[in-house]
Amino acid sequence: MTSRKIAIMGAMPEEIEPIISKLENVETMVYGANKYYEGHYHGQKVVVAYSKIGKVFATLTATTLIEKFGCDTLLFSGVAGAISDELQIGDLIIAKSLCQHDLDITAFGHPFGYVPEGEVFIPADATLLNIAKDVAKQKELTLKEGIIATGDQFVADEERKNWIGSTFKADALEMEGASVAVVCNALNVPFFILRAISDSADMDASFNFDEFLESSAKISADFVLSMVDELGQ
């Protein structure tokens, strides 16, 4: 598996800075109005980028990592808001599957999150999920697995949060994961989305997000780098 070229994505600088700081022989390339950092981690080829916030930028960055840089595996490291009461700030959740909570053509008789020739839920790669569970055991970390909902909204509203939870049976929400899943699914690239909880997507979300963004992002980044080690075995 050492021949892999691994893409590591985040949405914000805070989500990838802990990763870039640990790379060797880093070269920076600007492409599509974004920066890509190509280097090595313990001998493994990696390309790291933050997309900027939201589904469109995440789609552009994921596609570029695969088509321009030739990455054949994509790992996403970042933060998310909790929907499930079982998730606390700092907890780690891996996406079993992802959906778009703001995609709505129900006027045409379709369920929320669905477009023709698409699907509501896109599953993450089973092998990468199993590797993540092994890493969690090695680190003696609790790792939750569930559905992550994506939308172009920072949710800080209890009613909206509860609606997303009940409609999609989602455990956490964020603004990029499902678009990365769509790209990787279409291009047959195994992907994995890891999120550390930074807030509870309610009235206190914006306050908690600012306070816990950096610490939660470091937790997620450290975990993803451990996965890179496992993929290089």
* Enclosing domain of residue 105: 5-228
Would residue 115 count as lying in a domain? yes
Would residue 159 count as lying in a domain? yes
Contact 10, 76 (CB under 8 A): yes
Q: Annotated catalytic, 104?
A: no
Find the CATH number of the domain harbouring 58.
Answer: 3.40.50.1580
> Using CA atoms, how far apart are residues 108 and 157, in angstroms rounded to an integer?
27
Catalytic residue chosen out of the listed positions 38, 176, 199, 202: 199
Domain count, the chain: 1
Would residue 208 count as lying in a domain? yes
Contact 218, 15 (CB under 8 A): no
Contact 120, 99 (CB under 8 A): yes
For residue 52, give the nearest of 73, 74, 69, 36 by alpha carbon: 36
Catalytic residue chosen out of the listed positions 14, 15, 91, 174: 15
Contact 119, 185 (CB under 8 A): no
Would residue 233 count as lying in a domain? no
pTM for the full predicted model: 0.94
Sign of the CA dihedral with 71 first, then 192, 24, and 10 last? positive
Contact 121, 147 (CB under 8 A): yes
Per residue of the chain (233 residues), what is the pLDDT tens digit?
446 899 999 999 988 999 999 999 999 999 999 999 999 999 999 999 999 999 999 999 999 999 999 999 999 999 999 999 999 988 999 999 999 999 999 999 999 999 999 999 999 999 999 999 999 999 999 999 999 999 999 998 999 999 999 999 999 999 999 999 999 999 999 999 999 998 887 878 787 777 887 888 889 899 999 999 999 87
> Using CA atoms, how far apart are residues 211 and 206, in angstroms rounded to an integer?
9
Q: Annotated catalytic, 204?
A: no
Using DSSP's 3-state secondary structure scheme, residue 96 falls into strand
